[in-house]
């Protein structure tokens, strides 16, 4: 089969590799029909995630058809269409029993495209198939459910639920990439009073408004702290969601949260941030962190099925699986291409070789 193989920092290739085989009775092999690329894949390619060893197939988000199951798999069978989530769950460890699958100690957690071969491929071996795959309702297209593999549960669980957003709250979302935008989309399920998006890039702020942010602050040209305090009678926001992953934006969230409020950190950080306890000790703030668990995937799937959420708006560019390398170039150059998520499809994609520049509308 063909797959996108990581060969060390800066090196990747769509090449022929051996087909995956069942190696444990709890495995399934899935034929990938749609996949996508995550910002985390770009981090891996920069060499920021050293656990990923050269030779690993990348990718942790996909939809596909089960083609083979191990002897112990009982809930999915050959022919089932399934969502392959970024988180795999052993279903048996202490954390899986608490639905905290991201912390799985039984061999699951984030393993696909990380510590085992991933899903930017024609076929993929999925460990713990019974507890890690989600059957896709027949009436939904791949593209309707694909972003349930990572960004929607991530932003919903680690941003919105950890932030404890309640009706009427003022919510600041720092960073308006796919994760920040998915946080805007799922925060709206809780009817916040106001959503304030903060980013440095004008096209991203325009997207944030299109996704439902009430206000957009460009912290490259404006003092975001002063503006947020002015908007909240000097108090700060009820919930600040960090969706970038750098010290400045975490520290910004800690500055704009009101006394008694919550900072929900979603960003993956590579450097230490300063925790200003000399200011925060008296403010009774809650700071939450975490990897997505994906316990909310069935609920989000139901919201999509019932028409309450439409995740297809994240798909800005479409490619055939065989053009995955070109898709990386477009996704990795989002400042130029305005890409949010690219869809990699096993089916033919009309004009896949000529992606147009995405128009930005507000
Ligand atoms: N916790 C989890 O489980 C989890 C899962 C997936 C992704 N993530 C992380 O979430 C973060 C966001 O992911 P993404 O795919 O949306 O990333 P992205 O790079 O596409 O978007 C980040 C956004 O932040 C903006 N930004 C950069 N510097 C800024 C600054 N100083 N102030 C304000 N805005 C700034 C950028 O313009 C961009 O729009 C990343 O760190 C990613 O690794 C976490
Ligand atoms: Zn991801
Ligand atoms: Zn487990």
Residues with Cβ within 8 Å of 354's Cβ and at least 6 positions away in sequence, in order, are none
Residues in contact with ligand 1 by the CB-under-6-Å rule are 39-40, 150, 154, 158, 174-180, 198-201, 204, 219, 243-246, 248-249, 266-268, 291-292
Q: How far is the CA of 150 from the centre of ligand 2 (A)?
A: 5
Residue 237 φ then ψ, to 5°: -90, 155
CA distance 359 to 354: 15
Q: In the prediction, which pLDDT does 270 show?
A: 84
Q: Which ligand 1 atom lies nearest to the CA of residue 204?
A: 39
Report whether 142 contacts 135 (CB < 8 A): no
Residues with Cβ within 8 Å of 300's Cβ and at least 6 positions away in sequence, in order, are 148, 152, 153, 156, 186, 309
Which position has the token pair 């509308």?
361
Residues of the chain with pLDDT below 50 are 352-357, 359-362
Q: In the prediction, which pLDDT does 362 show?
A: 41
Q: In the prediction, which pLDDT does 124 show?
A: 98
Residue nearest atom 34 in ligand 1 by C-alpha distance: 199
Strand partners, 317: 342
Any idea which ligand is nearest the CA of 119?
A: 2
pTM: 0.95
Q: What is the CB-side half-sphere exposure of residue 342 using CA atoms within 13 A?
A: 31
Residues with Cβ within 8 Å of 60's Cβ and at least 6 positions away in sequence, in order, are 38, 40, 86, 110, 112, 113, 114, 118, 119, 149, 150
Q: How far is the CA of 91 from the centre of ligand 3 (A)?
A: 5
CA distance 264 to 172: 10
Pocket probe for ligand 1: among 38, 177, 290, the residue whose CB has the most ligand atoms within 8 Å is 177
Tokens of 357: 């520049």
Pocket probe for ligand 1: among 210, 244, 290, the residue whose CB has the most ligand atoms within 8 Å is 244
Pocket probe for ligand 1: among 41, 179, 186, the residue whose CB has the most ligand atoms within 8 Å is 179
């Amino acid at each position: 089969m063909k797959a996108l193989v990581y060969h060390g920092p800066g090196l990747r290739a769509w090449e022929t590799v051996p087909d995956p085989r069942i190696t444990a009775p709890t495995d399934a092999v899935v034929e990938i029909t749609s996949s996508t690329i995550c910002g985390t894949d770009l981090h891996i390619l920069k060499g920021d995630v050293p656990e990923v060893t050269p030779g690993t197939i990348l990718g942790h988000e996909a939809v596909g058809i089960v083609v083979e199951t191990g002897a112990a798999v009982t809930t999915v069978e050959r022919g089932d269409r399934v969502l392959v989530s970024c988180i795999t769950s052993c279903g048996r460890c202490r954390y899986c029993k608490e639905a905290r699958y991201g912390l799985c100690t039984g061999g699951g957690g984030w393993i696909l495209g990380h510590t085992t071969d991933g899903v930017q491929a024609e076929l993929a071996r999925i460990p713990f198939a019974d507890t890690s795959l989600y059957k896709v309702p027949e009436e939904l297209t791949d593209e309707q459910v694909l972003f349930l593999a990572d960004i929607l549960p991530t932003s919903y669980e680690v941003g919105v639920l950890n932030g404890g957003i309640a009706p009427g709250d003022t919510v600041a979302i720092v960073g308006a990439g796919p994760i920040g935008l998915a946080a805007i989309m799922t925060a709206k399920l809780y009817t916040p009073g106001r959503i304030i998006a903060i980013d440095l890039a004008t096209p991203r702020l325009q997207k944030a408004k299109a996704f439902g942010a009430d206000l957009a602050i460009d912290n490259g040209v404006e003092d975001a702290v002063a503006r947020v305090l002015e908007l909240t009678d000097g108090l700060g926001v009820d919930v600040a969601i960090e969706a970038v992953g750098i010290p400045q934006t975490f520290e910004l969230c800690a500055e704009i949260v009101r006394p008694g409020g919550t900072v929900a950190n979603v960003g993956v950080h590579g450097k230490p941030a300063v925790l200003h306890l000399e200011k925060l000790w008296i403010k009774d703030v809650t700071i939450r962190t975490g990897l997505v668990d994906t316990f909310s995937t069935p609920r989000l799937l139901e919201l999509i099925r019932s028409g309450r959420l439409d995740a297809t708006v994240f798909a800005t560019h479409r490619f055939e699986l065989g053009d995955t390398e070109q898709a990386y170039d477009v996704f990795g150059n989002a400042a130029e291409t305005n890409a949010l998520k690219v869809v990699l499809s096993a089916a033919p994609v009309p004009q896949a070789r000529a992606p147009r520049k995405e128009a930005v509308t507000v």
